[in-house]
């Protein structure tokens, strides 16, 4: 729980907000005073998440939204403006990650298309629908959720390509939107403990040793970075990627462990 109220009077729309990073981000904005519209393809679950925030005294609404459907996206954005009177911040969390086939050449087109359509094109649809409204407030901001998969090889061909594409979209849209008073940035998480890792605790324990800071991320770590980039504290930051990965991409922990200095013994 934070006692900061940077977003008092702001309206924030978040995709993929039913659980994980999206839900934690919604909670962070709500705790900082924002009116939050949580959207997700899973309508009942996102309503449960929003209801939990309302029970805590926050202003939160939920709406089913499929980012692969342009009409659904347009309706969700219009709903945010209709209910709250404006839209100040868009956070794009919705993503799809299909496991790779053992051989690259066996990967089906449908899986590739799905991951890119939801993760990359879905973000494009949301930005396109929201930008005219963000441009009217004088404090508009978009924060996209990328991944270290878009920076280095961690598997998942389609998902990684989509996340890399988000880096390019963030930069090009930032260039366009700056003149309209809207900032666009990217948060690049490493491994985060979400429901995708349920039942894989031993694997997470092994992964933890690869992180210089000694742990994997929590959804709240990413939510804090998103809130910073969306806030007035980042008023002179646009078109950038903030890597929140416990040092994973900066330090080759495996190499440092394998090549030990003679004085280490």
Q: pLDDT tens track of the chain, all 265 residues?
A: 666 789 999 999 999 999 999 999 999 999 999 999 999 999 999 999 999 999 999 999 999 999 999 999 999 999 999 999 999 999 999 999 999 999 999 999 999 999 999 999 999 999 999 999 999 999 999 999 999 999 999 999 999 999 999 999 999 999 999 999 999 999 999 999 988 888 788 888 889 989 999 999 999 999 999 999 999 999 999 999 999 999 999 998 888 888 876 566 5
Is-catalytic flag, 55?
A: no
90 DSSP 8-state letter:
E
φ/ψ of 12, rounded to 5, equals -125, 130
Cα(26)–Cα(39) distance, rounded to whole angstroms?
10
Q: Is 159 a catalytic residue?
A: yes
Q: What is the edge-to-edge ordering of all strands in the sheet holding 59-64?
A: 59-64, 35-40, 11-14, 89-92, 141-145, 183-189, 241-244
Q: Which CATH number fits domain 11-200+213-246: 3.40.50.2300, 3.10.129.10, 3.40.630.30, 3.40.50.720?
A: 3.40.50.720
Is the separation of the CB atoms in 73 and 129 below 8 Å? yes
Catalytic position from the list 55, 124, 159, 211: 159
Among 55, 124, 163, 211, which one carries the catalytic annotation? 163
Instruction: Check: pTM over 0.85? Answer yes or no.
Output: yes
- Dihedral angle computed from the Cα positions of residues 23, 27, 28 and 29, in that order, rounded to the nearest 10 degrees: 100
């Amino acid at each position: 729980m934070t006692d900061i109220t940077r977003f008092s009077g702001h309206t924030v729309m978040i995709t993929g907000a039913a659980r994980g990073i999206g839900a934690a981000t919604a909670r962070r904005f709500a705790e900082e005073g924002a009116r939050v519209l949580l959207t997700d393809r899973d309508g009942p679950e996102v309503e449960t998440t929003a209801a939990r925030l309302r029970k805590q005294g926050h202003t939160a609404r939920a709406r089913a939204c499929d980012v692969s459907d342009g009409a659904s996206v347009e309706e969700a954005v219009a709903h945010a403006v209709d209910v709250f009177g404006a839209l100040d911040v868009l956070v794009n969390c919705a993503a799809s990650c299909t496991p790779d086939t053992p051989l690259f050449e066996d990967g089906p087109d449908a899986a590739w298309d799905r991951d890119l359509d939801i993760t990359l094109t879905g973000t494009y649809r949301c930005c396109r629908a929201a930008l005219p409204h963000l441009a009217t407030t004088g404090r508009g901001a978009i924060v996209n959720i990328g991944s270290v998969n878009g920076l280095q090889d961690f598997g998942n061909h389609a998902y990684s390509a989509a996340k890399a594409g988000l880096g390019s979209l963030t930069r090009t849209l930032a260039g366009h939107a700056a003149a309209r008073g809207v900032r666009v940035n990217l948060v690049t998480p490493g491994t985060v403990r979400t429901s995708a890792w349920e039942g894989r605790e031993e694997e997470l324990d092994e992964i933890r040793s690869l992180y210089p800071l000694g742990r994997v991320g929590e959804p709240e770590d990413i939510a804090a970075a998103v809130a910073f980039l969306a806030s007035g504290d980042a008023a002179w930051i646009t078109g950038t990627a903030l890597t929140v990965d416990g040092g994973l991409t900066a330090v080759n922990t495996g190499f440092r462990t394998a090549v030990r200095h003679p004085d280490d013994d």
